[in-house]
Chains A and B, each alone.
Chain A
Amino acid sequence: MSDARIPAAFLRPGTSSFSDFLAENAPDLLPARRSLPAGSAADIAPHGTTIVAVTFPGGLVMAGDRRATMGNVIAQRDIEKVFPADEYSVVGIAGTAGLAVEMVRLFQVELEHYEKIEGTLLSLDGKANRLSALIRANLGMAMQGLAVVPMFAGYDLQRGVGRIFGYDVTGGRHEEASFFTVGSGSLFARGSLKKLYRDALSSDDAGRVCLQALYDAADDDSATGGPDLTRRIFPVVWVVTADGGQRLSEEAIGALADQVVGARMTRPDGPVAPLPGGDERGEAR
């Protein structure tokens, strides 16, 4: 922004989309508009790993571990991978950390920009579709090993429920009914969620379920970080309800994580799911 007259493009009525405006007037600022030399860059860029999300009546919880890896090296042990997208939605990222964080920043501005220009919030589906477009624009980089696979979740003000959207690298989106996971530890986390999820969770229990799932992911996936008790580094947990999104405080997560780890001291594989039709000894915690 120079201090001279505002360029004519800024004064022209038209798009309410910030990324469309950038594409026209400052394409070099868009993360997906950079040309890369041929070859794969996958090994030289830190990767973020596991994100889980769970809905409960009246909202949803999204949680992410804190590890970023670069090959066999832990690149960062306190990275944050769950971000607020706006007041009523959150976005979690897996894949190339640097690009993903930039994509989230663009997505945040995109939503805020629309809100300011139009004077109203985008619908939750509208937000999810905008994120699709940003991911699709990144396809070229994804094919060179720099994929970004986010997960988007928010409170739908019209319907009054929490909703979760998953994506693939081509920008295809799909809505998930009750819980979803992405990232390298997602298979293990999903197995865990399948056994722990139930319909009428409280928001506290939904957070507990997320931490259990992340623990299971870290247990079997080397790229997912478990709760770091010595450094007191715990997953980032966001709770979104009709009152907006809120990040759980360090103390609250620390207390939950201590509970989870404490229970694993006596039973390392975690809570036992009930076994219908089996004998009576199998009981949930």
Chain B
Amino acid sequence: MSTPFYVSPEQLMKDRADFARKGIARGRSLVAVQYADGVLLVTENPSQALHKVSELYDRLAFAAVGRYNEFENLRIAGVRLADMRGYSYDRRDVTGRGLANAYAQTLGTIFSSGGEKPYEVEIFVAEVGERAADDQIYRLTYEGRVADEHGFAVMGGDADTVSSYLSEHYADGASLDVALGVAVAALGHSKDERGQDADRVIPVDDLEVAVLDRTRTQPRKFRRILPAALAGLLGERGPAEHAPEAHASQTPPDDTPGDGSGPEEPPVAPPLA
């Protein structure tokens, strides 16, 4: 029997974190924005069938970036957890905090256990309250960290670029069409090699948009905004452009030098202790 090489715990965790971060940055960004009537979730997703944003419960929405099979599992677990809790107690007892905690524990345990590959996902759990001050956006990272975001939040893809655009243009208490316009422009925002703005207009059909709208009369506040309605809300934006294929190979900002894994290759499992 051979003795495994010694790997320090710091190095082990760093390797696992790098692995997860790389997987997450490979996709496209997702934006959550608070607006006057609730929370708006927008991402670029050419698929109309495989959603990145979906309903969890009456006042809760789920949004994720990263590996589809992994976050789909987490989404289904969240729906089951929420429905079971709402059925055995009351619908009002299902809260964003409860679900965010459950997700955090799950992601944290998977990340630090040696036996499993860390999940390459990042998640938002958004909650809409009676008033704008009660709205919440929880961000959950691959290692199980929870953060409480205010105003707007971005994850996945080139999150820093999108986030810098939003921090310049975001305003509290905006109407839906204004907030949507800013969010979509932020997703299309990018810089070329020389640091010049190279923004593009994302086609309406490539957008996945949903809101938690507190003005809905039904108890279920989640609503998808379909492309037909989006065109009207966004107004005239100039010629649209699909995402360049090369976008998928985007490397995360604080990464170690290239390890040879190409854009389309599946990620390699991290070293196990």
Contacts and interface: CB of A to CB of B under 8 A. Distances in A.
Contacts of B76: 10-11, 13, 117
A22 interface: yes
Contacts of B77: 6, 10-11
A122 B102 CA distance: 29
Contact of B86 (A10, A11, A109, A117): A109
A231 interface: no
Given A1-B102, A5-B106, A10 B87 contact: no
A18 B83 CA distance: 8
A6 B81 contact: yes
B109 interface: yes
Contacts of B105: 3-6
Interface class of chain A by DSSP: helix
Closest 10 interchain pairs by CB? Answer: A10-B77, A6-B106, A5-B109, A5-B105, A11-B77, A3-B101, A5-B106, A10-B80, A6-B77, A116-B79
Interface in A1-48: 1, 3-6, 10-11, 13, 18, 21-22, 26, 29
Nearest to B69: A13
B200 interface: no
Given A1-B102, A5-B105, A116-B55, A11 B74 contact: yes
A65 interface: no
Given A21-B80, A112-B220, 11 more contacts: A1-B81, A5-B109, A6-B77, A6-B103, A10-B81, A11-B73, A11-B77, A13-B76, A109-B83, A116-B56, A119-B51
B85 A1 contact: yes
Interface string B50-66: 01001110000000000
A119 B55 CA distance: 9
Interface of A: 1, 3-6, 10-11, 13, 18, 21-22, 26, 29, 87, 105-106, 109, 112-113, 116-117, 119
Interface of B: 49, 51, 54-56, 73-74, 76-77, 79-81, 83-88, 98, 101-103, 105-106, 109, 218, 220
A112 B109 CA distance: 30
Contacts of A6: 77, 81, 102-103, 105-106
Contacts of B86: 109
A237 B166 CA distance: 49
A271 B220 CA distance: 42
B87 A29 contact: yes
A235 B101 CA distance: 44
A156 to B, nearest CB: 21
Given A11-B73, A13-B73, A113 B83 contact: yes
B270 to A, nearest CB: 20
Contacts of A119: 49, 51, 54
A22 B85 CA distance: 11
B106 A117 contact: no
B95 to A, nearest CB: 10
Contacts of B49: 119
Which among B56, B74, B102, B103 has the greatest number of chain A C-beta atoms within 10 A? B102
9 contacts: A4-B105, A10-B81, A21-B84, A29-B84, A29-B88, A109-B83, A109-B86, A116-B54, A119-B49
A26 B51 CA distance: 29
B265 to A, nearest CB: 25
Contacts of B220: 112
A148 B49 CA distance: 38
B105 to A, nearest CB: 5
Contacts of B102: 1, 3, 5-6
Contacts of B55: 116
B269 to A, nearest CB: 19
A13 B54 CA distance: 17
Contacts of A13: 73, 76
Which among A26, A29, A113 has the greatest number of chain B C-beta atoms within 10 A? A113
Contacts of A113: 79-80, 83
